Structure 1
Amino acid sequence: MNMLQNELDQAPDYLKDFVHHKLTQEFSPHTINEYLKNYRLFFNWALSEHILSDLSPDSLESLTAYKMNLYKSHLLSREKYGTPSDTYKGTLSKPTIKRHLTALKVLFHYLATSYDNAQERPYLSHNPMNGVENVKEQQTLQARADAIEEKLFLGKETHDYLAFIEEDYQHTLSPQALKFFKRDKERDVAINALILASGLRLSEVVNLNLEDVSFEKNRCYVTRKGNKKDSVRIASFGMDYLANYISVRTLRYPNTNETSALFITTYKGQSTRMSGNAIEKMVAKYSKAFRVEVSPHKLRHTLATNLFKSSKDLLLTSQQLGHSSAGQTTALYIHIDNDTTMDALNSL
């Protein structure tokens, strides 16, 4: 909630009302926070391009489908953000653009239709997103599965990756970097192992507290999408890495008794909950050094694929991921596990 509050501190009243409305609908703070990040990017673009003169409702009234489609064009051609030393990183992916546009559709639908705000009438007389189509992913499920499989650490490679972080990564570091690696090693490998052993979402990992982990039951307790409480099973290898980290947590980080967060970092001499952005950068760093740069979400895909390959049970895989149904997302793992198809073809 602190990150959400930080995003709202300087926000216009209509955004504060929007957040209040979504919280009453039991949207998770993480989802709302991601929406707000997308809105900040849109408003910065609209102001810099003189599409908007300011962020008042009167200024928003000037938005049209044409102007919103200009932003869509901007997203389709925009390069990914990187560090100044990065080489060209390519344009935004279709799923990323889809999330941006979906967030804007949600906001402007609220502004044009909802009476749930301080003035008790809609902020806008029209919805400028009504004439904006979302992007379409022009890939079959099999093509998407093939692309994803390149970035999964399947089978034995799951354990090879964790062993690389523990034993080999340090040999690539300078003496100064090695000092910080040794401080954080157990924490970092525990985070990677936990996702690979459970399939937790990044936000679920970030929000874990010490008391949410049960070593007796090999489970953790999380709040899923839609604010649903869930008990998530963890493979035994993940519990081993968690135990190693917890055994050194109070030794490596200051004033750990002042935070209940499971995964912590040091900021201005104090222990604080590790952010999602920090975890993403950490996973990218290790995975790039190992074989290919991946995100925490790809580690989640890895668990799901390994689980389906082992069980051939789509419902079980769906439940482990916290999906409300065994829909298209979960069906992706059938296409990654295409051994049956190849066996049938080879028998012709």
Structure 2
Amino acid sequence: MLMLQKELDQSPDYLKDFVHHKLTQEFSPHTINEYLKNYRLFFNWALSEHILPDLSPCSLESLTAYKMNLYKSHLLSREKYGPPSDTYKGTLSKPTIQRHLTALKVLFTYLSTSYDNAQERPYLSHNPMNGVENVKEYQTLQARADAIEEQLFLGQETHDYLQFIDEEYGQTLTPQALKFFKRDKERDLAINALILASGLRLSEVVNLNLDELSFEKNRAYVTRKGNKKDSVRIAAFGMTYLARYLEVRTLNYPGAIDTTALFITTYKGQAKRMTGNAIEKMVAKYSKAFRVEVSPHKLRHTLATNLFKSSKDLLLTSQQLGHSSAGQTTALYIHIDNDATMDALNLL
């Protein structure tokens, strides 16, 4: 909620009303915060391109489907960069662009239809997103699965990756870098292992508190999308790494005893909850050194694929991931696990 408040501090009243409306609909603060990040990018573009003179409701009335499609074109051609030291990494993916468009559709639907605001009437007379089509995905599930599989650490490679961090990564570092690695190693191993052993989302890992972890039941108690409480099972190997981290947590991070956050860092002598951005950079660093740079979301994909390969149970896999239904996203893991298809073809 603190991050959400910071994002809102300099926002127009209609965005504050929008957030209040979504919170009453039990949208999670994380989802709303991601929406606000997308809106900031859109408004910065609109101001820099003189599409909007300012961010007042009166100025928003001038937005049309044509202008919104200009932004869609901008997203389709926009270059994607990693951290400042990284080089060009291509254009935004279709799913990323679609998330931007979906966020804008949610906002402008509210602004043009909702009476749930201080003035008790819609802010806008029309919805400029009505003429903006979704981006099309020109890949079958199998093509997506093939592309994703190269970024997964499946089977024994899950444990090889963790062992690499534990025993080999430090050998590549300078003495100064090694000092910080030794401090953070158990924490970083615990985070990687937790996602690989449970399939938790990045936001769920970030927000996890000490008292939401049960070693007796091998579970984490988290708040899923839609603000739903859930009890998530954790594979035994994940609990082992978590136990190792908790043994050194207060020793390695001064002030750790004063915070309930499970995963912490130290900043100016104070223990603070790790951010999602910090975890993403950490996972990218280790995975790139191991074989291929991946995100925490790909570690989640790894768990899901390993679980489906082992169980052949789509509903079980869907429930472990916290999906509301065994839909297309979960069905992706069937296509990654295509051994049965190959066996059948080899019999022809």
TM-score (norm 2): 0.99
1:117 aligned counterpart, secondary structure: coil
Determine if contact 2:255/2:271 at 8 Å carries over to the other structure: yes
1:122 aligned counterpart, secondary structure: coil
2:283 aligned counterpart, secondary structure: helix
Determine if contact 2:81/2:87 at 8 Å carries over to the other structure: no
In structure 1, distance between residues paired with 2:125 and 2:293: 46
Q: Which residue of 1 aligns with 2:94?
A: 94
In structure 1, distance between residues paired with 2:82 and 2:201: 23
How far off is 1:266 after superposition? Answer: 1.0
- Provide Cα deviations, 1:213-264, integer angstroms capped at 9, x if missing partner: 0000011100111111111000000000000001100001111122100000
Q: Which residue of 2 aligns with 1:245?
A: 245
**Is 1:214 aligned to residue 211 of structure 2?**
no
In structure 2, distance between residues paired with 1:249 and 1:84: 30
Q: Which residue of 2 aligns with 1:26?
A: 26
In structure 1, distance between residues paired with 2:44 and 2:174: 39
Q: Which residue of 2 aligns with 1:45?
A: 45
- Provide Cα deviations, 1:28-87, integer angstroms capped at 9, x if missing partner: 000000000000000000000000101110111111000000000000000113344322
**Distance change >3 Å, CA 272–CA 84, structure 1 → 2:** closer
**Is 1:182 aligned to residue 160 of structure 2?**
no
Q: Which residue of 2 aligns with 1:328?
A: 328
In structure 2, distance between residues paired with 1:268 and 1:71: 41
Amino acid at match of 2:120: E
Q: Which residue of 2 aligns with 1:304?
A: 304
2:305 aligned counterpart, secondary structure: helix
1:183-332 residue pairs with structure 2 within 5 A? 183-332=183-332
How far off is 1:90 after superposition? Answer: 0.2
In structure 2, distance between residues paired with 1:58 and 1:104: 18
**Is 1:169 aligned to residue 183 of structure 2?**
no
In structure 2, distance between residues paired with 1:197 and 1:218: 10
How far off is 1:307 after superposition? Answer: 0.5
Count matched residues: 348
Amino acid at match of 2:200: L
**Is 1:75 aligned to residue 61 of structure 2?**
no
- Provide Cα deviations, 1:193-212, integer angstroms capped at 9, x if missing partner: 00000000111101100000
2:89 aligned counterpart, secondary structure: coil
- Provide Cα deviations, 1:160-201, integer angstroms capped at 9, x if missing partner: 000011111111111111111111100001000000000001
How far off is 1:20 after superposition? Answer: 0.3
Which runs of 5 or more structure 2 residues have no equivalent in the other structure?
Answer: none
- Provide Cα deviations, 1:84-126, integer angstroms capped at 9, x if missing partner: 4322210000000000000000000000000001111111111
1:89 aligned counterpart, secondary structure: strand
- Provide Cα deviations, 1:102-158, integer angstroms capped at 9, x if missing partner: 000000000000000111111111110000001011110000000000000000000
In structure 2, distance between residues paired with 1:168 and 1:310: 29
In structure 2, distance between residues paired with 1:174 and 1:106: 48
TM-score (norm 1): 0.99
In structure 2, distance between residues paired with 1:192 and 1:84: 24
2:221 aligned counterpart, secondary structure: strand
Which runs of 5 or more structure 1 residues have no equivalent in the other structure?
Answer: none
Amino acid at match of 1:86: D
TM-align CA RMSD: 0.7
In structure 2, distance between residues paired with 1:194 and 1:203: 13
1:230 aligned counterpart, secondary structure: strand
In structure 1, distance between residues paired with 2:84 and 2:225: 35
1:121-160 residue pairs with structure 2 within 5 A? 121-160=121-160
Q: Which residue of 2 aligns with 1:347?
A: 347
How far off is 1:318 after superposition? Answer: 0.8
- Provide Cα deviations, 1:286-328, integer angstroms capped at 9, x if missing partner: 0011000101010000000000101111111111111111111
